[in-house]
Amino acid sequence: MVACKRQLIIFGGFHESARDYIYYNDVYAFNLDSFTWSKLAPSGIGPAPRSGCQMATTPEGSIIIYGGYSKQRIKKDVDKGTLHTDMFLLKTEGAGKEEDKWAWSRLNPSGVKPTPRSGFSIAIGPNNRSLLFGGVHDEEEEESIEGDFFNDIYFYDIGKNRWFPGQLKGPKSDKRKRRRGRQAEAEGAGDEEMEKQPPQGPVEIVKEVVAEDGTVMTIKQVISGPAEEKERSESEEEEEDGALGQQVEPCPRSNAMLAVKHGVLYVYGGMFEVGDHQFTLSDLYSIDLHKMEEWKVLVEMDPKAQEWLEESESDEEEDDMEGAEGGEEEEETSEEESEDEGGEEQHPSVQPDEEHADYLSRTEQYWIKLARSNMGPDAKEKKVVKVAHAMAKTFYEDSV
């Protein structure tokens, strides 16, 4: 739903009952002056029926509709899902006495488009752009569904009809300060030597080495001058800065809530899955869309709270089984024991001044084992490793 010209516009959706389901592609408008609903009948060819699509308004008062999901029945008890990646524009053709006339048109944007996904979120950003964040792509197998979650940003330039991915530039000021400090130290330490020695270019050193059998080999070695050494040192410093600067970012998720204020994007909550378990997030991040340098953590996620939520679900199942057998005293005892056992389990702690890469290398097998236990023996190894790394990263960021 979006607000457009004193109206609230609703498109699509679905209704599911115990026996059947149906997807919609109709458009309704709620007039904010008369407080009445009306069904719109746009001309042209519009989107196919779907749910889960996202809508955004343009400065001219048009509406952009992107993506969505639908499924259709192939045969009895077998459905096929479809991730929609098309984009449409709903715009007014003119104002009549009673209601506006609307028309559909299909958009074919250029650039780098988002990968197919559902559960993404959209917001209106600065510079006549809308943005897309997160989502999930479900891989449907015969008896299971595995989802790949995203935490990337894509921008859509409304004026140019073009997609492009959002790239984090990183905090440049810190890098420049470190580089200037290193240059100052190097210049201060080498001032005396530079006064004594004139500037030198590349120097070629020729050495003769005599082998045991009497063979004479000539070895040439070229020593680079100060300019080349400076270029090499700068490239090495950039690599070091990239390795040391671990970027903070929201973990992959779907159905996050977005808001943009004064050019700053705020991302709150969402959900992700590990095996058969769903986790609801309550963290809050922000990023300056003008600079695109780094994410800032406004409210951190408590990993212990997430573990407790997962354990409480299993505890309730155990309690129901014990309650069916009868015995309130045994029920209370089992709850206390399960709480004690849950409290004893602790993740590997982060050592003082330990970098994320070092922590992951030291504890990787623990997180892989934990991810495997949650996802089950049938989960793909690549997916297990990906989830394990995400869990380790989240715990590391919450610990430092």
Reported as a single tens digit per residue, the pLDDT across 51-108 is 999 999 999 999 999 999 999 988 887 888 899 999 999 999 866 544 579 999 999 9
In terms of pTM, does the model score above 0.85?
no
- With respect to residue 318, please indicate whether it lies within any of the assigned structural domains: yes
β-strands 7-16, 257-261 pairing? unpaired
Q: Which range among 29-43, 263-277, 321-335, 367-381 shows the weakest confidence by mean pLDDT?
A: 321-335
The predicted-structure confidence for 296-354, as pLDDT tens digits, reads as follows: 999 998 766 554 444 444 455 555 555 555 555 545 544 444 444 444 458 899 988 88
User: Is 365 found in the same domain as 265?
Assistant: no
Is the per-residue pLDDT at 193 higher than 80? no
Place of tokens 């059998």: 213
Domain limits at 26? 2-170+252-301
Identify the CATH number of the domain in which residue 91 sits. Answer: 2.120.10.80
User: Is 152 found in the same domain as 8?
Assistant: yes
- Rounded Cα distance, 347 and 366, in Å: 8
Is the per-residue pLDDT at 388 higher than 90? no
- With respect to residue 321, please indicate whether it lies within any of the assigned structural domains: yes
- With respect to residue 263, please indicate whether it lies within any of the assigned structural domains: yes
Number of structural domains (the chain) is: 3
8 Å CB contact between 169 and 176: no
User: Is 35 found in the same domain as 107?
Assistant: yes
- Rounded Cα distance, 369 and 363, in Å: 10
User: Is 117 found in the same domain as 60?
Assistant: yes
- With respect to residue 198, please indicate whether it lies within any of the assigned structural domains: no
β-strands 63-75, 21-31 pairing? unpaired
8 Å CB contact between 42 and 27: yes
User: Is 258 found in the same domain as 395?
Assistant: no
User: Is 315 found in the same domain as 266?
Assistant: no
